Amino acid sequence: MALDEEPTSTATYWPSLAASQAAGTFWRCRCGEMNPGDYDTCHFCQHPQPDLQPSVRAGTVFTPTATDMEGEYAGVLVASIGEDGDAIALTHAKNRALEALDGYFREICGQPNLLDDATRPLSDAYYFLDSGYGVFTRRGDGGWHLTPAGEDTRGAVPVTWFRHPAGPVPSPYARHHTGQEQLPTL
Ligand SMILES: [Zn+2]
C-alpha cells in the first residue's frame, strides 16, 4: 500500500492495480497477490515489496555473484539450468569450466564425475561444452534468466554451457581420444 493509504482501503487499490498492470509496473507479493508499482507493502498481507532495490527489479541486466549461483568450484561460479542436468560455468575457458563443473556434479549431485560415468575420460565432456557470452536478467521472483548474447552486448558475461549428454560422444570426436590429436590438458 502507499504510505498515505489505509491498509484496508480497496477504493484506490483496484484502479491503481489496473493502471499498474496496463503500464507493466505491478509487482507480485509472496502471498500471490498483485500490487500496484507504487505500493511499498502488499495490500493484502502488508509484506514489504521484495524488490525495492533497482538492481533486483525484473528485467534488470546484472552480473551474477556467488549468491546468484549454486556454488564456486575451482574459482569458477557454477549453476544448474533447468531439470535435465544442464549447467553453466561463468568462465570463457573450457578447461576451467570443465574442472568447475566436474566439482559441482561430484559434490552436489553425487556423481562420479561430470559425465556421471566413471569409466569415461573427463575429456569426453569437452564435446558437450559450449563457451560464449550471455546476458543475465532478473526475473520477477528474484531468480534470473540467461540469454546467449554477443561479446559486445551490454552486460554480457563469459559463460560456458554444459549440455548434458544424451548419448555417447559422436564418433568423430571419440576417435580423437585414441589418435594423435592433442586434447586440452586440465
Ligand atoms: Zn502479500
Give distance in angstroms: CA of 33 to centre of ligand 1: 6
Give distance in angstroms: CA of 37 to centre of ligand 1: 13
Residue 161: band (very low, low, confident or very high) from pLDDT cuts 50, 70, 90: very high
So what's the pLDDT on residue 180? Answer: 46
Mean pLDDT rounded to a whole number for the chain: 83
Give distance in angstroms: CA of 8 to centre of ligand 1: 13
- Assess whether pLDDT exceeds 80 at residue 1: no
| Residue 149 near residue 157, CB atoms below 8 Å | no
Angle in degrees, CA 104, 109, 114, rounded to 5: 55
Give distance in angstroms: CA of 70 to centre of ligand 1: 28
- Per the rule left: phi > 0, alpha: psi between -120 and 50, beta: everything else, 26 is beta
So what's the pLDDT on residue 145? Answer: 92
Give distance in angstroms: CA of 25 to centre of ligand 1: 16
Give distance in angstroms: CA of 49 to centre of ligand 1: 9
Q: How far apart are CA 112 and CA 116, in angstroms?
A: 6
Q: How far apart are CA 51 and CA 90, in angstroms?
A: 25
- Assess whether pLDDT exceeds 60 at residue 117: yes
Q: What is the pLDDT of residues 45-103, one digit of tens each?
A: 988 887 655 556 778 899 999 888 999 999 999 999 988 889 999 999 999 999 999 99
Q: List the beta bridge partners of residue 129.
A: 162
Give the position of cell 491503481: 16
Q: How far apart are CA 65 and CA 59, in angstroms?
A: 17
Give distance in angstroms: CA of 159 to centre of ligand 1: 36
pTM: 0.62
**Which domains are delineated in the chain?**
13-50 (2.30.30), 61-177 (no CATH)
